[in-house]
A and B are shown apart, each in its own frame.
Chain A
Amino acid sequence: MTPLEILSATVSGQPSPRVPVFCNLLDQGAKVLKMPPKAYFANGEYVADAQLKMLKHYGHDNVWSAHYVGKEAQLLGCKDILFADNGVPNVADFVIKSWDEIATFEIPEDITQHPHWQVMDDCLKILRDEVGSTNPICAYVTASTTLPVILMGMDKWMELVLIGPVDLRDELVRKCSLFVQKQLTAYRAAGANVIIYASPFGSTYFMPKKRIVDWSMPWMQEDLKAGTDNIVYYGGMAPINTVMQLVIDTLKVNIFYPAPEDDISESKRLINGTGLTSGVLDDIKMIHWTEQQTRDEVKRIMRLGKAGGHFLFGTGFMPLKLPEANILAMLEAAFKYGRYS
């Protein structure tokens, strides 16, 4: 079976030889091509090339589109990203600098005509042609209730959400939801077949559950009204077990990518033999582990999650500081302990 078939069988509960193994190598691509991150991410062909090289080198299942934090902000007018040679890019220019600017903030009519989308499209075209029939191709979309964080900064958004004018808050989220819908359509058309829907404001780490029910959920329903195919619910590394049942019931999404601190057995209980949940390794701790500690943790995750299927092994957004030996040990263990035979 191809990795894509294994993933599909895992979601539907059909027999498969092993647990799918996702490895989220994003910023590593620039290192592979020995390029500065800014130049690397400016060209979709570079990103696709590096993704394919890493796929061949490590043998994991998935590839990534040209995603980095701030990409969505650039599609909405952000003019400055702080790239770093040793880590993830950072939004350095907020599109919305004051609440007054929400009224004039506009979503592009056709995001696929934007130069920053062109990079994404170039990347996805190559990945689709090369591995689209065999491997999952991942894209990342931030939920409308969280997207303002990269447009105006976390503290300003938190302030507007919690103590600001409700009509202004919802005007911004309505615009963001429109953007989310456009992105989902564009990604699907471009060939992404796994869409990580990141919703930290849909995690009880960020918000009380009542707010999630009353406010986040209706907007997420709006985001996903065209369909939930291939949508993976992700809390942005914040725990999501406490909202999983709510997401299943309300959004009709049953594929989850929890945080390392979410209890795997509880995640499995919640999906109740349908869809998919993931055991996510804490790759920040992994920076300082030995190879044996890494293998032991993979073994533990597989022991908790593998039985009964509907389970994927995954990583966080792997820091550049991760030792190569640990990445190799992790993958070796994932294929060894994730086997079903």
Chain B
Amino acid sequence: METLTIKEEQKQTEAKATKSISGSVAVLDALLNENVKTIFGYPGGAIMPIYDALYDYNDRLEHILVRHEQGAIHAAQGFARASGKTGVVFATSGPGATNLVTGLADAMIDSTPIVCITGQVFAHLLGTDAFQETDVINITTPVTKWNHQVTDASEIPAALAKAFYIASSGRPGPVLIDITKNAQLQLFEYEGYKKCEHIRSYRPKPIVRKEYIEEAAKLINAAERPFVIFGQGVILGKAEKEFKAFIEKAGIPSAWTIMGMSAIPTDHPLGVGMLGMHGNYGPNLLTNECDVLIAVGMRFDDRVTGRLDKYAKQAKIIHFDIDPAEIDKNVKTTVPVWGDCKETLPMLTALVESKVYPQWLQKFHDCMEKEKALCIQPEMNPEGDILTMGEVIKTLNELTQGNAIIVTDVGQHQMVACRYAQMNQTKSNITSGGLGTMGYALPAAIGAAYGDPSRTTVAIIGDGGFQMTLQELGTIMQFKPNVKILILNNQFLGMVRQWQQLFHEKRYSFVDITSPDFVQVAKGYYIDGQRISERSELKGALKTMLDHEGSYLLEVMVGKENNVFPMVPQGRGVAEIVLSKEEI
């Protein structure tokens, strides 16, 4: 096994044009060249040579040993979302690789840049049903942007260069490289690492056609009630400034999708709230009243559009996206602008007139007043003694001032957190938007804490989702990332229960979930925590959690049968959004 340090390698490289290294060292050298510092992984038989090489790279590569490979990939996702960099995962063959599948699917649908490196059985054993052999390439094909199997060490540098290039360029996504054990062990003549900058069959970034920007600007300038809806494309494109400049010059009310949240501060005067099934009232209702709808870096997910034949039929639609397959996929556009919004938005800003739409904006404010009275007020200032999820988030806002990274799981707490959390800076909202993966938040929060250690990371999780990946408390115990775990416990699988109440005549079918004593579980992992259920304790407990040195678990008992409103019931149009269960 090759165990030379890079410096020694370089010295030798100078002496000799090429030198012989193992495939495993080539993998680690590739990571260093791609500026990777953190890896989330779990060892096993078929990836042992890489782990053996890693032993000598401890000073340059930080490896976080998770408790399950699903935890590794969600952590890498959280890392990528908090840092804007590519997350890296190591896993072994067979079960190690198959445990990545949920995370790959999640990263695929939420466009998260991930490079997974999996070990594979010896090349001569491929196809023989060897121990821990699984056809990981074919299993992961539908859930990766690209995947590739390497059976010869000499292919490793180029394969990894391609992997990092593909994962992070264009519309980002997960890439998996499967390396057979013989290739990890094999020595080959290494000529150094060359970053990939071009693949002839891959055009991540189209050249922008100005005609379309001009047409878009014309429509916007003539509009009376323009409305901007934006998604994660703004964040992935690192175009937050460009986006803000555009809406501020054009004066257009703007609403975010769950994935686009935090691209502009949540209290921005033109920010009118969240779209979607449990989004705000105004943005949903007024989607069907605007005359020009400008979609930026979003993909018209069904949770955003509701019934498509009742979606923005009156409006001319401009769609900015980097992925041409998204244009006209769900909603027919009037003007498509295919390109990187970092490039297209400034071109558009230059052409739009500086305007304000006070009456139109007022309509959003009026809707917000109505929503406040009917949905927000009872959530923020409930009449009874039982805590609501909303007031927990409100109190958290007061303490974090909107500066924390909020990682959410999936379900009612996710909707409530995204509806009410205050966010001042980009990359503050980390959640499983497209796939809706319960169990995402705890490992993703671990990754986020490594992705941006300068910020406080709060993982808000339901009692159901927490039980799906709570083994990652072990990772927190061992590596001590600073994660504040806030469990909102309603003693139910709340979102499913809400649907069973509203649409299945309250036939509660297996939503009544019992939980262990979460605080004791955390204590078992040497993580401090407490459980509260009284309003009087709330602020103090949250403050204790935030001020605590290191990770902390706070379990808040909340109302068992509270519902999230407003809601666009499934199968209805966005304008049919309801504010209470009486309206359904």
> Are chains A and B native binding partners rather than an unrelated pairing?
no
Residues of A with Cβ closer than 8 Å to B?
none
